[in-house]
Chain A
Amino acid sequence: AQSVAQPEDQVNVAEGNPLTVKCTYSVSGNPYLFWYVQYPNRGLQFLLKYITGDNLVKGSYGFEAEFNKSQTSFHLKKPSALVSDSALYFCAVRDSGGDKLIFGTGTRLQVFP
């Protein structure tokens, strides 16, 4: 069965520092991986996806993610964090049997000024 793990409930980082939000996955077949961000009392916003091709995927708001097949990871990164990046981040994998997305439990990113 497909699954996604986000091992950190919360990540704290100082503004201007690089940030990493971790995600590992378990899939059968080729993984289709996604990152979404959720601001308070809002729906999810798409950040980026990996379907195929380059392992480094660039997305919205300066975020990027690196697909690592050997480590089955898809960590979200940003070179310089902003206070406005503070939000809840979800990693997801597409279910191989259909259109469903399987979400991780989410990681709250807190960027301190």
Chain B
Amino acid sequence: AQKVTQAQTEISVVEKEDVTLDCVYETRDTTYYLFWYKQPPSGELVFLIRRNSFDEQNEISGRYSWNFQKSTSSFNFTITASQVVDSAVYFCALRGTSYDKVIFGPGTSLSVIP
């Protein structure tokens, strides 16, 4: 079965703190894609990153970084020096080769307090 778990329902941090959002996935596929999406209070879903299962190199984009570890089936997302504009719900998602669908986790609501 394919499944995405985001154990942290809500997180609150003070501005400028670092925060890590956890994502654990389950799949029987050997080739798959993992995604992170951001949903700010305005409601739209914004694509952040896509990671192939055969590329475990971590990625950094400005204050955002992603740590992909196949050994623990995790794809964690870290925001460095958080800002109020980072306040949003963040979704982790999984897509394998054996199905046409993307499976979303339940989301983590991040509040950055000024």
Do A and B pair up? The answer is no
Chain B contacts to A: CB under 8 angstroms: none
Q: Which positions in A face B, CB cutoff 8 Å?
A: none
